């Protein structure tokens, strides 16, 4: 029994050393954003409990990502996949009709990227 225990201790030490070396040797991975559709809405009193105006750069998240308000007040960086234009906005609301990676934007934020007539565009975004 003592021999088995010694073997397991030696094996555990080897595993710990191996995974430490792998973690150190692994190259840095570029953080990828979430791909989704951007739409716009008339903002007001949002799910985060604050009233905003259409001229502010704010977004609404789908209910799953909104996660009960855990992202309220967080900043997101948004990039138009076609033009490369970027902007930063604040999470202030939920968008029940949005897909998992979609963002509903204030009109002024949407217009930073495209005309309101366009209605929707493909973008990438990430929390910052």
Q: What is the per-residue pLDDT across 56-108, written as a single tens digit (0 to 9) for each?
A: 999 999 999 999 999 999 999 999 999 999 999 999 999 999 999 999 999 99
DSSP annotation of 67: G
Alpha-carbon span 32 to 124, nearest angstrom: 9
Superfamily for the 34-127 domain? RlpA-like domain (2.40.40.10)
DSSP annotation of 51: B
Q: What is the per-residue pLDDT across 94-127, written as a single tens digit (0 to 9) for each?
A: 999 999 999 999 999 999 999 999 999 999 999 9
Residues 6+ apart with CB under 8 A from 35: 81, 101, 122, 123, 124
Alpha-carbon span 74 to 86, nearest angstrom: 17
| Bridging pattern class, strands 86-94 and 121-127 | unpaired
CA nearest 114: which of 42, 39, 34?
39
Q: What is the pTM of this model?
A: 0.75
Task: Please report the sign of the dihedral spanned by the C-alpha atoms of residue 60, residue 64, residue 65, residue 66.
Answer: positive
């Amino acid at each position: 029994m003592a021999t088995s225990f010694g073997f397991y201790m030696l094996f555990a030490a080897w595993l710990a050393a191996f995974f430490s070396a792998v973690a150190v040797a692994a190259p840095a991975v570029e953080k990828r954003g979430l791909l989704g559709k951007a739409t716009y809405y008339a903002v007001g009193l949002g799910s985060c409990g604050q009233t905003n105006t259409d001229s502010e750069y704010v977004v609404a998240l789908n209910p799953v990502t909104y996660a009960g308000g855990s992202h309220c007040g967080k900043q997101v960086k948004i990039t138009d996949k076609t033009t490369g234009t970027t902007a930063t906005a604040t999470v202030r609301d939920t968008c029940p009709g949005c897909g998992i990676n979609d963002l509903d934007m204030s009109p002024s934020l949407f217009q930073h990227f495209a005309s309101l007539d366009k209605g929707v565009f493909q973008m990438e975004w990430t929390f910052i």
